[in-house]
Each structure stands twice: as C-alpha cells, then as structure tokens.
Structure 1
Amino acid sequence: MTDDIPARALVSIGELARSTGLAVRTIRFYCDEGILEPRRSPGGHRMFDADSATERLLLVRRLRALGLGLGSITEVLLGERSIAEAIAAESARLETEFRSLAWRRASVRAVETAAPTQRAERLALLSAAQDGGAVHDCLVRFWWRILAPIPRCDVQGWVCWNVPEPPADPSVDEVVAYAGLAALAVDPEMNSVVRRHLWRMQPDLIRDPRELYADVGDVMVDVVTLITEGVRPRDGSEVDRFVNAHATARGERDSPRFRERLLIGAPDTDHRIHRYWALTAQLFGPRVTVGPAYNWLIDALAHATDLADEPTRRT
C-alpha cells in the first residue's frame, strides 16, 4: 500500500464487485488482462482505488455492451485511441459484417427459391461468389487485364463507370446477377474474347494504346448521350471518329476496306459479351455503361458498311 493514497480510499475486490455489479471473477480477469491495476494489501489481497477503478470498470462495461473487443477497450484505457475512434472502428467492422451476412442471406434465398431443376446450377454459381467485395476485386482485375497496357490510373475512371459495386443489401436477383458477372470474368476464354471485341483487329499493331483508349472513350461518352435520348445506331460523326481513332492508331486511313476489317473476326455477337453487359445493366439500372455504347457504335458501323456496299452489290 502506497503512502499517497489513504487507506480509506481503497476497497477490496468484493466491495468493488458490489458497487459495479460485476462478478469477482470478471474483475480478476480484467486484472489479469491488464485492464485494471490493483494494489496489494499487507496481506497480499487485491485492493483498488474506489473512484478510479469504478470509473474504469463502468467504461469497460459500457464499451463491452456495444460489442467492442478487449483489445480496442485496452487501447482506449491506455490513451492510444479515443472513444470516438474506437466506436468508429466498431461501426466499420459491423458494416462489413452486415454486408457479409446480407450477401449470405440473399445467396441462401436464391438457392431456396430456385426451381428444383435449377437448384444445383445456382448453388454452384453462388458458392463461387460468396463475398461481394471479393467479386468486385475480381471484376476490377479482369478489366485491368483487358485494357492493359493502359496505366491503371487511367483505367480507374473507366472501371468506376462500368464495374458495379456489390449491393450492400442485395436482393435475390442482384446476388445472382453479381455472381453471374464473376462467372464470366473467370471464364478462361473471356479475356481474349473481350480484348478482340474492344481492341479490334491486330491489336499488336496499335502504336499508342493509351491514345486510342482516350479517343474511343471520348466517342462513347457522346454515344451515351445519344442512347439516353433514344437515338438508334446510325452513321454519323460518332462512327467516323471511332474509325479514325482505330485507323490513326495503326498508321492507316479511314477507308471502306479498313471499316470492313474492323468488323471482320471480332466476336461482336458472342453471347458472353452481351450477357456481361446485360447483367451489368441489371445492377446499374437506367445508367448507360460502356457496353451498350460500344455495341451502339459497332451496330452503327455495320449499318454504315452495309449501306456503302449496296451500290456494289447492285452493279
């Protein structure tokens, strides 16, 4: 017992238990964990400063009631973290846990509500996409590979525009759609199919992929406006700029032959590409993404090429 604390200011562990409503064994546990520092009486019994120990234990009790772990509580008691910071961290942890549980709940319901003949297929689909955050990361990596060698800092805006965030509280349809995107992203052939769709013929001859990416991106921004206004694919300045961007990137000029080559061999009708953008549209809602804009351009180019070929076919 020290000289600076009067004997009357110290209480036994039993008295502290009665004043705080905590069990003696709980107080002993807190002592062993370093949360509470007892003093020793001449007889070796644990003794505590009544005011500071009570205040400390009440704070521990209240933080524990909110679900904070002993590690976080200890940091607060040691002054390494404020109460506000500890609460904010716990809130973030709960948000992550909630999203995980919401995802699992929607997945379970998706399997439960599937037709008996589709249940095994849906179970396989959802078991491979158990976490929305992991699926989102998978989709981001997928598009980084597709758009390489464009620097990731340039691709990031495109990714934010076209890769849906996992819904915080997904419906059955949303969790199935998101899992469907994941399945397409890990398809062994999907990478090469989409690269040929976007970069068109002979991508190895492209002089400056970054410039081509930027030029085509500018065109698609304008096409998004046309789609929003209900304009159907048609020949015009958007198609001219699209073709010119590809021709310039390869050191060529826009010509009927070059336009035909842009369409030859590209997997524009591959069902996987259209399914990817259909699922993305389902998750984004009315927002127009790059997929529909790009398909609009290709359809417009094909239409313009067919019109140009008509006089030749007639003769």
Structure 2
Amino acid sequence: MGDTGEGLVSIGELARRSGLSVRTIRFYCDEGILESRRSAGGHRMFDSASATERLVLVRRLRALGLGLGSISAVLRGERSIEEVVAAESARLDVEFRALAWRRASVRAVENAGPAQRAERLALLAAAQDGGAAHDCLVRFWQRILAPVPRSDLDIWLYWNVPEPPADPSVDEVVAYAELAALVDTPGLNSAVRQQYWRHRPESIRDRRGLYADVGELLTDVVPLVSAGVPPRAGIELDRFVNAHAGARGESDSPRFRTQLLTDATDTDHRIHRYWALTGQLLGPRVTVGPTHHWLYDALVRTTDTSE
C-alpha cells in the first residue's frame, strides 16, 4: 500500500520518502512525535507532505545529537531550533571540558615516573573536575577575605584565581590539582588570613575600607613588580602602613610598623607555592601574591625590629 491518492501514505512509503526505518517511525508515533490515522483495515496512514517534512526535521536534529525532549519541544512550537541548538552546544562545551580534563589527568599519571605515580594519582583523583576545583579556590578566598561583601570580591577573584583551562596540558592539570590540594591544607587558611590582614586582625575597625585601600595600592605596585624594581621605602610602603593604621584607628609609627611584622606568615612556603602555581596558570599576569610580598619585603628592609 503506497499513496492513497488522498495525500495519505502508508508507513512503508513514508519510510522510503523520509529515509527512516518502519520500526523508527512506529517508535516516533508511540512517543507522540508523529501523528497517524488508521485506514479501514487498521493500518497506519500519514499525511504525505507534513509527515515527511516532520520526519526529515527529526532525523536532522537527531543527527546533531539532540534528545527527543528537545525535538518534541521544537515540534510543539515551545522552543525554536536556534534555542535547542544553542542549549546543545552549551552542553557539549561542558562535556568536552570534562573529557579534556580527564584526558590530561590520565596522561599526567601515564607520564609520571614510577616513584611519582602513586602520589600523582592521589593528587589528580582528588581533583577529578576542574569546575569543582575552581569552586574550592573561590570558597577559600571568600573565607580569607570575609566579611568583605561578595560584590566587592568579583574583580579580585577574576584577577587572582585562575579558571580551569578548557583544554589543559599535563602540566596545567597537575598545577591546578595541586592548587586545590593546597587550599585544603590544614592551617593554610589562617596563615593567609594573617598575611593579608596582618597583626591582630580583630583590632581592625574598617575591614572593608582596608580591603579597598590595599587593593588600590596593590594595583599601583604591579608595575614595580613587573619592572623588577627591588622592594624599597617610599610612598607605596607608606600607603600600605597608613591603610592598616587607619583601619585600626592608629597612626604610622616605628612601633606600629614593627607590629605589622609580628607573627608574619609571609615566608610560609605553602603561600609561595600557591602563588607560583597561580603564576604558572595565569601566565604573565601579576597577581596579588607577588605584589603583597613586595610590600612585606619593603617593610622588613626598612623596619628596625630590635626595638
């Protein structure tokens, strides 16, 4: 049975015209994607033009990997083709990023020497997903910089916290996994808080103001670090001390400068390792780590701690 002459075709003829199997067409009928009528003999019959056009569209969308839910939404007019294709593209981006991360992790373990392999395997197994590792870094800095409002942190996080590479190399995936492991190290949170807020952070009256003043200062120190200027006395160091003094309701003095060095954690090897790895991932961008350490070195070189 083919064309009835009334614009209706049998399922066999529809299969021939659309390039789909009879079994697939029956499945689409059962799923509500395609409508049919019944002949006097009980056979499925289809409108020749609309059914063929509909099935060709379904076949093409399926070739792009779209699911039946998305295709049904298009056929019902609930979503446009552009919308479902954009959604599928975004989904594939996420999937490919995950696969790229796994590929780099597998190669990192494969390339490790026998003595390193077990340690590297443990490191990478703990950071199976780049997005999750990035979230750990963000939460770490949110705790460090609290109670600064989240709205004030966005630029800071963008500039200083590397995004997981979309297609990481072996070195990049290892570096990122190590960063995630570092922020989970016991005691690092308190060490970095001490470095950032300095001596007796509980005495700070205006933490938000201190954050803003130091942030502006660090931006001005970036060119000095980039140019290789040695840490020194001068306006940058004075601004650093005055920012901390003002936030505590005090004034700059030799005694206060000595206090800023009390219990300093700036030489903690974990902090230096963190910023070294960050620099490896961000490239030539100068982050807050080297600039903050430049000010610390300037303070050490110009402060008499023997008093």
- The code of the aligned residue for 1:78 comes to R
- The code of the aligned residue for 2:269 comes to H
Shift of 1:215: 0.5
Structure 1 counterpart SS, 2:250: coil
Deviations 1:82-127 (A, max 9, x none): 1111111111111111111110000000001011101000000001
Shift of 1:43: 2.5
Which blocks of at least 5 consecutive residues in structure 2 are unaligned? Answer: none
- Equivalence for 1:47: 45
Deviations 1:247-286 (A, max 9, x none): 1111111111111110110211111100000000000111
- Equivalence for 2:241: 243
Q: Equivalent of 2:157, from 146, 159, 169?
A: 159
Q: Equivalent of 1:112, from 105, 110, 113?
A: 110
- Equivalence for 1:124: 122
Consecutive aligned runs of 4 or more in structure 1 exceeding 6 Å deviation: none
State the TM-score, normalizing by the size of structure 2: 0.96
Whole-angstrom distance in 2 between the partners of 1:7 and 1:30? 24
Deviations 1:123-157 (A, max 9, x none): 00001111111111111111111000000100111
RMSD: 1.3
Q: Equivalent of 1:221, from 219, 235, 238?
A: 219
- Equivalence for 1:133: 131
* Count of residue pairs brought into register by the alignment: 304
State the TM-score, normalizing by the size of structure 1: 0.94
For residues 252-291 of structure 1, the aligned pairs below 5 Å read 252-291=250-289
- The code of the aligned residue for 1:215 comes to D
Whole-angstrom distance in 1 between the partners of 2:36 and 2:188? 65
Whole-angstrom distance in 2 between the partners of 1:40 and 1:222? 79
Structure 1 counterpart SS, 2:9: strand
- The code of the aligned residue for 1:40 comes to R
Shift of 1:7: 5.7
Q: Equivalent of 2:69, from 49, 68, 71?
A: 71
- Equivalence for 2:82: 84
Which blocks of at least 5 consecutive residues in structure 1 are unaligned? Answer: 1-5
Whole-angstrom distance in 1 between the partners of 2:38 and 2:302? 92
Shift of 1:44: 2.3
Deviations 1:45-77 (A, max 9, x none): 211001000000000101111111111111111
- The code of the aligned residue for 1:86 comes to V
- Equivalence for 1:3: none
Structure 2 counterpart SS, 1:117: helix
